[in-house]
Structure 1
Amino acid sequence: MDTKSLIIDTATILFQQKGYKSVGLNEILKACKVTKGALYHHFPNGKEELLIACLQALNEAITTDIENIFRGHLSTKEATQSILDKLIHNLETEGTIIGYTFSSIVSEMATVSEPVRNACSALYENIQHIYCAKLVTDGFSNESASAIALLMTASIEGAMMLCLTQKSTDPLKTIAKLLPNIIKAF
């Protein structure tokens, strides 16, 4: 792995685990075993530029994963169940869903930095677009698909945050039971 990717991957994990404000550059440097010069070579504007690179990497990874899951299932209901099953499995086996959620970063930084808010917004928009496109394929109108995609995004992201704070998979399990029925109700 090249130095820039190493810095991004390491910082992403640390930001997700501890929050942006709680992680200092020295902690990132120590975890990566790189010099301050190496970090500033790749991120001359410092920590916020690194955070945006982390969010962009998360955007790509999460979007690709969701797209692959949705391509592999015939209906939105099946694809959604697959995503929820994956998240539940990750939480049960690894004790975390790091790599799939970025809500802590959003809540901490979105009102402080417009570039960070834009990076977070782009990820949510990409997720909703994937859900919406599949719902339209399932026969929903554009308006209904857009509304359901928003509900799906908010429900899944909210359930992930509740799982992390409660140290329990129950919120995702509840969403897995209810969300397919809510989709059908539209």
Structure 2
Amino acid sequence: MDTKSLLIETATILFQEKGYKTVGLNEILKASNVSKGALYHHFPDGKEELLITCLHALKEDITTDIEAIFSKHLTTKDAIISTIDTLINSFEKRGTITGYTFSSIVSEMATMSEPVRKACSELYENIERIYCAKLLSDGFSDETAVSVSLLLTASIEGAMMLCLTKQSTNPLKTIAEQLPNLLEKL
């Protein structure tokens, strides 16, 4: 793995696990075994530029994962259940959902930095776009598909945060039971 990719991967994991403000550059450098000069070579503007790059990489990874899941299922209901099952399995195997959630970064930084807020917004918009497209293919109206895609995004992201704080998969299991029922009623 090249130095830049290593820095991005290492920083992404640390930011997700500990939060942006708590992770210092020295911790990232030590964990990735990279020099300060190499970091500034790739990220001349420092830690915030590295964070934004991490968020862009997360956007690509999460979008790819969700699109792959959604392409395997005919209905939004089945795709959502599969998505949530993937998150539950990840949490049960690793005790975290690192790689799928970035809410801690959003809550810390979105009001402090416009570029970070924008990068986070783009990620959420991608997720909503995938959900919306599937809802439209299920026959939902444009207006309903847009609002339900927001509801799905907020529910799943919120459940992931609750799983992390409660150290339990119960929040994801609960929405896995409830969201399909909601979709059927619409």
Structure 1 and Structure 2 fold alike (TM over 0.5) = yes
Could you tell me which residue of structure 2 aligns to residue 105 of structure 1? 105
Report Cα offsets for 1:74-125 as digits up to 9, x if no partner.
1000000000001011111111110000000000000000000000000000
Could you tell me which residue of structure 2 aligns to residue 70 of structure 1? 70
Alignment of structure 1 residues 21-170 onto 2, 5 Å = 21-170=21-170
Query: Which runs of no fewer than 5 residues in structure 2 stay unpaired?
Result: none
What letter corresponds to residue 163 of structure 1 in structure 2? C
Query: Which runs of no fewer than 5 residues in structure 1 stay unpaired?
Result: none
Identity rate, percent = 72
What letter corresponds to residue 93 of structure 2 in structure 1? T
For residues 41 and 185 of structure 1, the distance between their equivalents in structure 2, rounded to whole angstroms, comes to: 54
Report Cα offsets for 1:125-177 as digits up to 9, x if no partner.
00000000000000001100001100000000000000000000000000000
CA drift at 1:185: 1.5
Query: TM-score if structure 1 supplies the norm length?
Result: 0.99
For residues 49 and 184 of structure 1, the distance between their equivalents in structure 2, rounded to whole angstroms, comes to: 43
2:74 aligns to what SS in structure 1?
coil
For residues 67 and 139 of structure 2, the distance between their equivalents in structure 1, rounded to whole angstroms, comes to: 19
For residues 110 and 134 of structure 2, the distance between their equivalents in structure 1, rounded to whole angstroms, comes to: 28
C-alpha RMSD of the superposition: 0.4
1:21 aligns to what SS in structure 2?
coil
CA drift at 1:184: 1.4
For residues 51 and 183 of structure 1, the distance between their equivalents in structure 2, rounded to whole angstroms, comes to: 35
For residues 148 and 181 of structure 1, the distance between their equivalents in structure 2, rounded to whole angstroms, comes to: 13
